[in-house]
Every structure is written in C-alpha cells, then in structure tokens.
Amino acid sequence: MMEELRFLIEVLVGGLLSGVMYSLVAIGFVLIYKTSGVLNFAQGSMILFAALTVVSLLERGVPMALAIAVSLVGMIVIGMAIERTVLRPLVNRTPITLFMATLGVSYVIEGAAQLLWGAQVHGLDLGIDDSPLEIQGVLVSSFDLVAAAIAATMVAVLSAFFRLTRTGLAFRAVADDPFAALAVGLRLPAIWATVWATSGIVALVAGLLWGARLGVQFSLSMVVLKALPVLVLGGFDSVAGAIVGGLAIGAAEKLSEVYLGPLVGGGIESWFAYAVALAFLLIRPTGLFGRKPVERV
C-alpha cells in the first residue's frame, strides 16, 4: 500500500517536472502569440539552432559562458530578423498564412543550422548532476529540479521585465489592444522586435535544458509537439496558462501512461495529452486563461 502510494507520488512528481520543461517551450509560443497573433512554429527550430550553436562552439574549445553569449546574440538577431523579413511584410494577413510562413522559416533555420554546424549528434553537458535523489523514499531527478528552478527564474525575470520596464508595459498594452496601443503612440514594430528577440532568448534557455536531456540533434525541434497541448489547455495568450497547463499536461501524461497505458497496450503519451487538452476545451473553448474573442454584430 505504502509502496503503491510512493510510486504514485514518484510518477506525479516526475510528471510535474516534465511539465515544467513543456512550459518552457510553450512560453516562447505565448510571448509571440500574445503580441502578434502568430503561432510561431519556428520556435522548435530556433531551439535546435540555439542548442546546436552552443554545443558546436563548446566542441571547438570555446568556453561555456562565451558560447552561450554568442548563441544569445545569434538568437536575438534571428528573432528580430524573422520579425523584420517575414512577419512584418505579412502583417494583416490571416493567422493561418502567418502560421505557414513560420513553418517555411523553420525549414530555413533547420537547413541553415545543419549547414553551419553539420548534421551530427552531440551530447551537451551543462555540468548539472543527474544522479537520482531520494526524498522520503521518493525518487526525484536532481537535473529536473535544477531545470525547473532555471525555468522558474526565467519566468520571474520575464515577469519582472514586463511589469517593471517601459518596454514591458508597452508589450502588455499591445497584447491588450494593438489599436489602442498604436493610438497612444507606441511603436508596434519596436515592440514586436523586442518580443521576437525575447522569444529567441527563451528558445536558447529551452534549447540548453532540452539539449542536455535529449542530446543536441535534429529531433530537438520536435519538442514543440509537447508544447502544443499545453498551449491549448492553458490558452495561447496566457503565460500563466502555459505554466499551469504544462504542469497539468505533464502530470496527466505520465499518470495515464503508467496507469492507463497498460490497459490499451501503452505508448498512449503521444496523443493522450491532446485528448486531455481537447476534453478540457470542450468545456472551455479558449483554454484555462485564454481570452474569449468578443463578436460584435
């Protein structure tokens, strides 16, 4: 009995910690969706590019701090470049067109990343210990704890940025009402550029943590598929939703795989998260924290 309970807690904790990792990816989506209404599918390839840059520099003998700094600059440039060359010419186009454009961008980034750094598979060691930790007999991954802490720090920094700085306030104004923001003289393009640059930074953090978990390779970009149900559950335009949604999806996914999986033969994680999100949506069509569009007739 105790044994079962402990196992349940282990699964739950593991799920919540995985969920934090999903949130990390989801936040990158939310930032951009909130301000420019774009579901940026290139987020995955940005994650790949960021991690690949860091790891390739490390392998060429560049110190970690410098490698991260270079990648950081690179990601900011890429984020702003996408905004400038792709999204701005497409302003006022349908959301689906914007989405497809970011898919096109992801081809470009994936191709460029491999052209630049090769198609090899790399290990990425961030120097975070990954031996299992036993707390009250419950096994917890120390790496996941550290990763969660880093993710939490990033969210805190982002929140502080958006609450305390002028640009941040402008961001929130734009997210609330682009037309009003435009009317009071906020420069939309400058804010968009900032947001895209920020999403580049988020991609770097996600790339490093996920890269350390998976190794740095092409399939790193596929982590976005883990973030999509999180977005649906939490609402595309809510940072808080991305966090709560991530935790909920992570936990639900692991619990279902362990307890429900054996009943149907296992391997249900790939779609179960979507099913959970979908079931939830039928109750609340715009997610946990998503805003309901107002229709005027």
* Residue 256: how many other CB atoms lie within 10 Å: 20
CB of 275 to other proteins, least distance (A): 6
Give CA–CA dist 215/122, Å, rounded.
Answer: 6
93 makes contact with other proteins (CB under 8 A): yes
- Taking the least distance from each CB to other proteins, the nearer of 88 and 172 is 88
Q: 188: which 2 tokens?
A: 């939309």
C-alpha to C-alpha distance for 291 and 173, rounded to whole angstroms: 15
Q: Nearest approach, Cβ of 104 to other proteins (angstroms)?
A: 4
Q: How far is the CB of 14 from other proteins (least distance, A)?
A: 4
Which is closer to other proteins, CB of 91 or CB of 160?
Answer: 91
Considering only the stretches 62-70, 100-108, 153-161, 186-194, report the one whose residues sit in contact with other proteins under the rule CB under 8 A: 100-108
Binding pattern for the stretch 70-89 against other proteins, x by CB under 8 A and - elsewhere: ----------------x--x
Q: How far apart are CA 13 and CA 20, in angstroms?
A: 11
Least separation, in Å, of the C-beta of 103 and other proteins? 6
User: Of the candidates 63, 111, 137, 189, which one interacts with other proteins according to CB under 8 A?
Assistant: 111
List the interface residues with other proteins, window 140-159 (CB under 8 A): 141, 143-144
Q: Is the CB of 168 or the CB of 245 nearer to other proteins?
A: 245
In the block, residue with structure tokens 């120097």: 127
Of residues 250-279, which lie at the interface with other proteins (CB under 8 A)?
253-254, 257-258, 261, 264-271, 274-275, 277-278
Q: Which of residues 195-214 bind other proteins (CB under 8 A)?
A: 210, 213-214
Alpha-carbon distance of 278 to 184, in angstroms, equals 39
The contacts found for 278-283 with CB under 8 angstroms, 24 or more apart, are 278/232, 280/232, 280/233, 281/232, 281/233
CB atoms within 10 A of CB 107: 11
**C-beta of residue 290 within 8 angstroms of C-beta of residue 234:** yes
Q: Which residues have a Cβ under 8 Å from the Cβ of 18 and sit 6 or more positions away?
A: 144, 250, 253, 254
- List the one residue from 5, 66, 73, 95 that touches other proteins (CB under 8 A): 95
- CA-CA distance, 206 to 175, in Å (whole number)? 23
CB nearer to other proteins: pick between 99 and 165 = 99
Task: Restricting to residues 12-51, name those near other proteins by CB under 8 A.
Answer: 14-15, 17-18, 39
Is residue 17 within 8 Å of 141, Cβ to Cβ? yes
Tell which positions 112-131 bind other proteins, by CB under 8 A. 112, 114-115, 118-125, 130-131
